[in-house]
């Protein structure tokens, strides 16, 4: 495995990982949002738990939810999910 920090400073690698993480979480949230109503309750709950864990990590790592995703687009689902969590706290 190539050393993550071999050709870049740690801050740049951390920023790149944040972008990838935000993008993956946006995709996960979109998957849950797009699930058909016919999906089992167990599968829906499993997806919700995955998203809750990702969101908790995002907040714990203090990643700015406004960080653009891989194509430079805002990840609106992530922004809204983090806002809801912070409002309920």
Q: Where are the domains of the chain?
A: 10-88
Q: Which of 73, 27, 36 is nearest to 54 (CA)?
A: 27
pLDDT tens sequence for the chain (89 residues): 456 566 767 788 888 889 999 999 999 999 999 999 899 999 999 999 999 999 999 999 999 999 998 888 999 999 999 999 999 97
Residues in contact with 31: Cβ distance below 8 Å, sequence separation at least 6, in sequence order: 47
pTM to 2 decimal places: 0.84
């Amino acid at each position: 495995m190539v050393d993550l920090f071999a050709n870049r400073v740690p801050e740049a690698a951390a920023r790149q990982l944040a972008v990838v993480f935000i993008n993956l979480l946006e995709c996960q949230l979109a998957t849950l949002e797009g699930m058909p109503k016919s999906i089992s309750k167990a599968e829906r709950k499993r997806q919700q738990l995955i998203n809750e864990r990702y969101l908790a990590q995002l907040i714990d790592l203090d990643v700015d939810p406004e960080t653009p995703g891989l194509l430079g687009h805002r990840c609106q689902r992530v922004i809204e999910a983090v806002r809801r969590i912070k409002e309920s706290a």
